[in-house]
C-alpha cells in the first residue's frame, strides 16, 4: 500500500475506526477528528463570546483559498453553497435559456444533476438529452455524438454515484471548449479523493458538497464559476451579494463581480470552519496519495469479489475506476446483503439494485478482508 505521511495515525484522525468498518464515503462520511475539533471550537467561541473572538470571517477567506487550491481555481471563482444541488441550481437559474437549446447529460446521474435540467425543459423548452449508460460505462463518443449545433451545455458527474465510472473530463472539456459548449460538473464524488483541475479539464461550472470524500459536514460545500462567466450569471438576490453589503442604509444595488456574487445571505460559519479543517487534512496527506491508496484498496476489493463469485459492475479500466465499487450476488438481494453486513458493523449501501462499497484512504486491506469474509463465497 502507498504509505501514509509520517506521523499520520488513522485511528486518531478518524475515530470511527474504533467502532465500524465504514465503506460509505460516497454517501455521508464520518467527520475527521480535525473537522470535529473545528466545530467544537466554533461552538465554544459562539457560546462564550459570540462573534467577537473567533475571527470566523477572515478564516472563511482562508478556506476559500484552500477550496480553490483543491481544484486549481482562483479564490475569486469560489462561492460557498449549502450543497451540490444549490450550485447546479445556480447554473440552471443563472443563465438565460431559450427554447430549442440542448443540454446533454447521461443516464444514471444523481437526481441533483437531472432535475434542474428537466425543469428547464418544462419552463423554457430546453431539450434535455440523456445518453445511455452501457454496462456501467458512459462512452464519451456517445456524449459527443449526442451534441449538435443547438447544444449549449454538457452536464456530467466526474464520478457516477451508482457505478463508480470516472468520466474523462479532460477529453470532454476539450470537446466543449472547441465547440463553445459550456461544461458543468458535479464533483462531489471526486473532490477529496481524485485530482480535479478545472483548468486542465476546461470546466466552466463545478459544484461539490463537503460531506462525502472530504469528510466534512452536510449542508456546506463550494461552487466554482469560471471568472469570465461570473458577471453573466443571474444570482439569487439578497443582502450580501452586492458591492457594499455592510452599508446597510445605503441601498446601492450593484452586484459583486467575483464569486461572492452568489452568496446572498449570512454565512454558515460552522460549516466553513469544518470544511477548512477537512481541506487542510486532505491537502496535507495529498490528493495523489489519497487517490493511490483508494484505488489500491478498490483494486484489491474487486479482485477478491470476483474470486468469491460476485458480479462486478464497476469499470476497473485505467482512468475509469474510482473509489466506488458496485456489485451484485446471484443469491442475495442487495438490501439483504447490506443489512447482514451492518449487523457485523460493516457499513455499505444498496444503490440502483447493487451493493455499493466506497472505502477511503484511512481504511486498510485488513478491513477489506473482513468485508470479504463477512460476504462469504457465492
122: CATH = 3.40.640.10
Cβ atoms within 10 A of the Cβ of 242, count? 20
Cα separation, 50 vs 56, in Å, equals 11
Q: Are residues 118 and 211 in the same domain?
A: yes
141-177 pLDDT tens trace: 999 999 999 999 999 999 999 999 999 999 999 999 9
Boundary residue ending a domain (245, 260, 284): 284
CA angle 364, 368, 369 (to 5 degrees): 115
Yes or no: say if 193 and 294 are a contact pair by the CB < 8 Å rule. yes
Q: Are residues 72 and 133 in the same domain?
A: yes
The pLDDT assigned to 108 comes to: 92
Instruction: Quote the DSSP letter at residue 132.
Output: P
Q: Are residues 265 and 363 in the same domain?
A: no
Cα separation, 265 vs 304, in Å, equals 50
pLDDT (tens digit, 0 to 9) for every residue of the chain, 378 residues total? Answer: 999 999 999 999 999 999 999 999 999 999 999 999 999 999 999 999 999 999 999 999 999 999 999 999 999 999 999 999 999 999 999 999 999 999 999 999 999 999 999 999 999 999 999 999 999 999 999 999 999 999 999 999 999 999 999 999 999 999 999 999 999 999 999 999 999 999 999 999 999 999 999 999 999 999 999 999 999 999 999 999 999 999 998 999 999 999 999 999 999 999 999 999 999 999 999 999 999 999 999 999 999 999 999 999 999 999 999 999 999 999 999 999 999 999 999 999 999 999 999 999 999 999 999 999 999 999
54-99 pLDDT tens trace: 999 999 999 999 999 999 999 999 999 999 999 999 999 999 999 9
Q: Are residues 137 and 183 in the same domain?
A: yes
Q: Which residue has the cell 454515484?
A: 161
Q: Where are the alpha helices (DSSP H) in the chain?
A: 10-13, 33-49, 56-71, 84-94, 115-124, 140-146, 169-179, 269-285, 287-307, 334-342, 365-375
Q: Are residues 233 and 336 in the same domain?
A: no
Boundary residue ending a domain (269, 284, 299): 284
Beta partners for residue 127, in sequence order: 102
Q: How many domains does the chain have?
A: 2
164, with CB counted inside 10 A (0-12, 13-18, 19+), is: buried
**Is 3 within the bounds of a domain?**
no
Q: Which residue has the cell 450569471?
A: 233
Q: Are residues 91 and 219 in the same domain?
A: yes
Cα separation, 45 vs 51, in Å, equals 7
Cβ atoms within 10 A of the Cβ of 363, count? 22
Cα separation, 107 vs 24, in Å, equals 22
CA-based end-to-end distance of the chain: 28
Cα separation, 313 vs 295, in Å, equals 16
Q: Are residues 133 and 148 in the same domain?
A: yes
CA angle 234, 214, 316 (to 5 degrees): 105
Yes or no: say if 162 and 356 are a contact pair by the CB < 8 Å rule. yes
**Is 226 within the bounds of a domain?**
yes
Yes or no: say if 70 and 191 are a contact pair by the CB < 8 Å rule. yes
The pLDDT assigned to 95 comes to: 98
Q: Which residue has the cell 477489506?
A: 368
Q: Are residues 274 and 302 in the same domain?
A: no
- Which whole-number Å values give the CA distances from 2 to 164, 178, 270, 279, in the listed order? 21, 38, 33, 20
Boundary residue ending a domain (263, 284, 305): 284
**Is 347 within the bounds of a domain?**
yes
What range defines the domain where residue 151 resides? 36-284
Instruction: Quote the DSSP letter at residue 194.
Output: S
CA dihedral 220, 263, 68, 363 (to 10 degrees): 0
Question: What are the backbone dihedrals phi and psi of residue 36, each rounded to the nearest 5 degrees, phi first?
Answer: -65, -40
Amino acid at each position: 500500500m502507498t504509505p501514509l505521511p509520517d506521523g499520520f495515525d488513522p485511528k486518531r484522525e478518524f475515530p470511527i475506526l474504533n467502532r465500524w468498518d465504514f465503506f460509505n464515503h460516497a454517501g455521508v462520511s464520518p467527520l475527521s477528528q480535525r473537522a470535529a475539533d473545528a466545530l467544537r471550537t466554533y461552538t465554544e467561541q459562539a457560546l462564550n463570546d459570540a462573534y467577537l473572538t473567533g475571527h470566523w470571517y477572515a478564516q472563511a477567506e482562508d478556506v476559500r483559498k484552500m477550496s480553490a487550491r483543491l481544484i486549481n481555481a482562483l479564490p475569486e471563482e469560489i462561492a460557498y453553497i449549502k450543497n451540490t444541488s444549490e450550485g447546479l441550481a445556480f447554473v440552471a437559474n443563472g443563465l438565460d435559456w431559450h427554447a430549442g437549446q440542448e443540454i446533454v447529460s447521461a443516464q444514471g446521474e444523481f437526481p441533483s444533476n437531472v432535475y434542474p435540467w428537466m425543469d428547464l425543459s418544462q419552463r423554457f423548452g430546453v431539450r434535455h438529452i440523456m445518453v445511455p449508460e452501457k454496462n456501467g460505462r458512459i462512452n464519451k463518443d456517445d456524449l459527443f455524438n449526442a451534441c449538435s449545433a443547438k447544444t449549449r451545455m454538457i452536464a456530467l458527474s466526474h464520478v457516477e454515484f451508482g457505478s463508480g465510472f470516472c468520466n474523462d473530463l479532460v477529453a470532454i472539456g476539450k470537446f466543449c471548449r472547441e465547440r463553445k459548449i459550456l461544461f458543468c460538473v458535479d464533483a462531489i464524488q471526486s473532490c477529496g479523493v481524485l485530482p480535479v483541475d478545472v483548468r486542465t479539464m476546461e470546466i466552466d461550472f463545478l459544484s461539490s458538497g463537503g460531506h462525502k470524500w472530504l469528510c466534512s459536514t452536510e449542508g456546506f460545500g463550494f461552487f466554482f464559476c469560471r471568472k469570465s462567466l461570473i458577471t453573466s450569471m443571474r444570482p439569487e438576490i439578497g443582502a450580501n451579494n452586492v458591492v457594499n453589503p455592510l452599508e446597510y442604509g445605503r441601498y446601492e444595488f450593484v452586484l459583486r463581480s467575483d464569486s461572492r456574487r452568489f452568496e446572498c445571505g449570512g454565512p454558515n460559519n460552522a460549516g466553513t470552519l469544518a470544511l477548512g479543517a477537512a481541506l487542510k487534512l486532505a491537502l496535507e496527506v495529498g490528493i495523489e496519495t489519497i487517490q493511490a491508496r483508494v484505488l489500491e484498496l478498490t483494486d484489491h476489493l474487486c479482485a477478491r469479489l470476483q474470486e468469491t463469485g460476485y458480479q462486478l459492475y464497476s469499470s476497473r479500466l485505467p482512468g475509469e475506476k474510482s473509489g466506488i465499487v458496485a456489485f451484485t450476488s446471484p443469491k442475495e438481494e442487495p438490501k439483504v446483503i447490506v443489512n447482514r453486513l451492518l449487523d457485523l458493523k460493516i457499513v455499505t449501501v444498496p444503490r440502483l439494485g447493487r451493493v455499493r462499497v466506497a472505502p477511503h484512504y484511512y481504511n486498510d486491506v485488513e478491513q477489506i478482508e473482513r468485508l470479504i469474509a463477512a460476504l462469504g463465497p457465492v
